[in-house]
Amino acid sequence: MDSGDTAWMLTSTALVLFMTPGLALFYGGMVRSKHVLGMLMQNFAAMGLIAVLWALVGFSLAFGDFGNGGVLGNLDFLGLAGVGIEPGLELTIPFVLFAAYQMTFAVITPALITGATADRMKFSAYLVFIGAWLVLVYAPVAHWVFAGGWLASLGALDFAGGAVVHMNAGAAALGVILVLGPRRGWRSEAMPPHSLPLTMLGTGILWFGWFGFNAGSALAANGVAAQAVMNTFLAASAAMLTWMLVERIKDGHATTLGAASGVVAGLVAITPCAGFVGGMSPILIGGAAGVVCVLAIGLKNRFGYDDSLDVIGIHLVGGLLGSVVLGLFADSAVNEVATDGLFLGAGPACWSTRSWPASPCSPSHWSCPPPWPR
C-alpha cells in the first residue's frame, strides 16, 4: 500500500462525488423555475439509491471475475464481501477505496440522464429506471472496459469513462426520451433557463470535480495523473472558446449558456483520452469538441427528439468524439499502456498487415497489464 496514492484517491473520490451536486445545479439552472426542485431531487436521489445498489450487487457485477474477457462479472463481491482495507487487484490503495471511487462514477452516470428527461418524468419512475439501469446496463458496460472485459481484451482504451460514462448515459438518454416523447409545449412555447448564475456555479463545480474524475483514474499520485490534470484543464478551456466562436459566427454573439456548455463538452471529450495524450493534443481535442457538440445539438430539431438539456449532443457525441480521436492522438510516451496513435506514428503499417496476432496492431499488443485497463 502506498500512502501517497491512498491520499490522492481519497481526495479524488470526494471530488467525483461533489460533481453530482454540481450537476444538479448545472441542470437546475437550465430548467424552468417550476421544475428546479424536481431536478435537484433527482440528482441527489441518485446519490442514495445508486450507492446502496452498488454496494449490494453493482460492484461485484462490474469488477468481479476481473480480466476474464467476458461480458459480466460474478458475485464474488456481493454485499462487498472480501472488499476490505488491504489492497486488491494489485493496486496500491485499499480495495474498499477503489470500490468507493468507482461508486462515485456509478452515481453520476445515471444522474446525467436527467438532463434529457427534464420536465417530464415522474420521480418514482425515475428511481425504478436508474436502479434497473445500473444493474442491467452500467455494471456490464463497466466490466467490458474497466474490468478487462471483452472490449478491453480487444484493445479498447477508455481512461476515465468516455464510453462507460458519457456515451453510455447519452445512449440511455436517447432511448428514454424516445419512449417518453416530447415535453408539453415543446416547439410551441419558450422554455428559457430560469437561472444562468446557478448553471455557471454548477459548471465551476463540475470543472473542479472533473480533476478527480480524470486524474483520479490514474489510481495513483503519479505523472499520468499530473498529465491528466493539464489535459483536463486545456480541453475544457479550448472547447469553451470554440463553442463561443461558433455561436458568434452563427448567431452574431456568444452566450453564457454556450460558454458553460462548451466547458462541459471539452471535459467530456477529453475524458477517454486524459491519461493517454499530451502536448497540444488536449487543445485540439477540446477545440474539436466545442465545434462538433454545438453543431450536434441542432440535430434534435432536425430529427424531432426533445433532448431538454442537450445530453445527447454533449455527452453521447462528445464521448464518441473523444473515444475516436484517441486513436489519432494516443502517446505511449505519456502512458505505456497506449499504442501511439495515427498522428504519432501508428497507421499505414497497421492498416496493411493481415497477420494479426503477430502484428503490432493486434489486440495482444494493446492488452493492458494489471491492475486495470488504464
Mean pLDDT of 217-221: 96
* Res. 326: pLDDT tops 70: yes
Is residue 302 predicted with pLDDT exceeding 80? Answer: yes
Model confidence pLDDT, tens digit, residues 222-262: 999 999 999 999 999 999 999 999 999 999 999 999 999 99
Banded pLDDT at 25 (limits 50, 70, 90): very high
> In the structure, what pLDDT confidence band is assigned to residue 353 with cuts at 50, 70 and 90?
very low
Contact predicate 206/26, CB 8 Å = yes
Q: For 167-184, give one letter per residue: b (16+ CB within 10 A) or e.
A: bbbbbbbbebbeeeebbe
Helix axes 36-53, 95-112, angle to 10 degrees: 150
Nearest Cα neighbor of 111 from 35, 158, 168, 194 is: 168
Mean pLDDT confidence for 305-333:
94
Q: What integer is the mean pLDDT of 153-159?
A: 91
Q: Tell me: the pLDDT tens digits for 64-88?
A: 998 888 899 999 999 999 999 998 8
3-state secondary structure 177-228: HHHHCCCCCCCCCCCCCCCHHHHHHHHHHHHHHHHHHHHHHHCCCCHHHHHH
Residue 346 pLDDT grade (very low, low, confident, very high; cuts 50, 70, 90): low
**Averaged confidence pLDDT in the chain:** 90
User: The domain 3-329: what is its CATH number?
Assistant: 1.10.3430.10
Q: What is the pLDDT of residue 190?
A: 77
Name the pLDDT band for 347 (thresholds 50, 70, 90). low
Q: Give the lowest-confidence range in 1-10, 124-133, 157-166, 183-192.
A: 183-192
The pTM score is: 0.90
Domain boundaries, the chain: 3-329
